[in-house]
Amino acid sequence: MAIIKPFKGIRPPKDLVELVESRPYDVLNSEEARAEAGDNEKSLYHIIKPEINFEPGTSEYDPRVYESAAENFRKFQENGWLKQDDKEQYYIYAQTMNGKTQYGLVVGAYVNDYMTGVIKKHELTRRDKEEDRMKHVRVCNANIEPVFFAYPDNEVLNELLMRYAATSPEYDFIAPIDGFRHQFWVVSDDQDIATITAEFAKMPSLYIADGHHRSAAAALVGAEKAKQNPNHTGKEEYNYFMAVCFQASQLTILDYNRVVKDLNGLTSDQFLDALTKNFEVIDIDAINVNVSGDEEGIPCYEKMAIDDAISQFGLDILKPAALHSFLLYLDGKWYGLFAKPGTYDDADPIGVLDVDISSRLILDEILGIKDLRSDKRIDFVGGLRGLGELKRRVDSGEMKMALALHPVSMQQIMDIADSGKIMPPKATWFEPKLRSGLIIHKLD
């Protein structure tokens, strides 16, 4: 059963939250972080992207960079830009994207649950990325950024969340760049705290949705500190790490698409012909697109070419319609690909995935791309960029072809995690991303 605990969060005063908060460290590069931080000395980027505190070009793995993170974490607390709550409590973090709100509980997740598999993962991690985050956790002695968990839907917790959602939040702001709404409540009532702890104790598993490297790093540092402490009791704060836990049914997973530099020596006609072995290939001239709405919000429909829809409406409305269907962009044209029966196994939690089908039958078999993590001929486009970004990168000549996939479902992720299997690389893109800087967890 899942063990969690409340904790004394470190967080910004209400009037400073929008100056402190930031995007997560791993969704932008150093120069983007430098630009976003600008002359704002209160930006969390000075802690989570501390290479911006040095000359441009300074490696993010420079030992001085990690020390700068710790120095700035101390500075933020000394200046009152971050303050620790007096009481151990839970927190609620809500995100609203395109009119849909998901409510997460911010908890201390148990390190041993990660080690024993109660907290389940669905992706492989790289040791170099784990070590980078471990250094950051060690030097700061804190989980500066939360990890992103999912849990099976729970009516008791949902009622509690909705009760808090009807009250005035501690924080409430629209974030720059993503334009999404972020709200935050403090759960200090002892009965509510006890209810949350008890309901999680009934859950056989929690699931890492996003942040596998951060989860591994946080748990490994906690285990490391336990081993190094001769007076370890199991009750120390380092036995827990910070996670935001959402009900599985509320989460939004977007498509994670592929762009490829070449056709492995094939002409376009040869490539399309090779696809017919395992796919029905259809030349798409036009599709039905929701193009507008009248003053009362009633949608109007119009037949139009994909490229016209892309140029006029930003194309996130255009997606592969169902499992085992794909959109291919090649030589200025869109094609529909439909996997033939027998090319996938609906009874296999991995074999049923479109990321597996496309990896096996297109990227590997035809294009010779064996390792999605290391092959320089392939790149990935996720999140809200839509088909427009795929078209742009091919039309620019940077890439030869693009492949759009139907998104993976949360149920598929949970099935894979429960089976003990690992998803193919670059399979999931969760949106919206958690904002950093709303809450921090110290390890002592």
Torsions phi, psi for 32 (to 5 deg) = -65, -40
Handedness of CA 434, 435, 439, 442 (dihedral sign): positive
Answer for the pair 147, 214: CB distance below 8 angstroms, yes or no. yes
For residue 383, the model assigns a pLDDT of 62
Tokens coding 343: 């090319």
- How large is the average pLDDT for residues 421-429? 83
pLDDT in tens, 201-223: 999 999 999 888 999 999 999 99
Q: pLDDT-based confidence at 431, cuts 50/70/90? A: confident
For the cut 70, the answer to whether the pLDDT of residue 313 exceeds it is no
d(CA 185, CA 295): 35
For the cut 90, the answer to whether the pLDDT of residue 18 exceeds it is yes
For residue 101, the model assigns a pLDDT of 96
pLDDT in tens, 281-295: 988 754 444 333 333
- The model's pTM: 0.84
Which range is least confidently modeled, 238-247, 297-306, 319-328, 407-416? 297-306
Handedness of CA 140, 145, 148, 149 (dihedral sign): positive
Closest CA to 253 of 428, 66, 46: 428
More confident residue, 428 or 146: 146
d(CA 266, CA 269): 8
Which range is least confidently modeled, 46-55, 103-112, 383-392? 383-392
- How large is the average pLDDT for residues 320-325? 76
For residue 300, the model assigns a pLDDT of 37
For residue 287, the model assigns a pLDDT of 47
For residue 296, the model assigns a pLDDT of 39
d(CA 237, CA 87): 14
For residue 126, the model assigns a pLDDT of 78
Answer for the pair 345, 352: CB distance below 8 angstroms, yes or no. yes
Answer for the pair 271, 277: CB distance below 8 angstroms, yes or no. no
For the cut 60, the answer to whether the pLDDT of residue 419 exceeds it is yes
pLDDT in tens, 365-410: 999 999 887 899 999 988 677 788 899 999 999 999 999 998 888 9
For residue 273, the model assigns a pLDDT of 97
- How large is the average pLDDT for residues 222-241? 95
For residue 128, the model assigns a pLDDT of 86
d(CA 332, CA 352): 30
Answer for the pair 180, 95: CB distance below 8 angstroms, yes or no. yes
Which amino acid would we find at residue 173? F
- How large is the average pLDDT for residues 69-87? 98
DSSP 252-286: -EE-EEEEES--TT--HHHHHHHHTTTEEEEE---
For the cut 80, the answer to whether the pLDDT of residue 188 exceeds it is yes
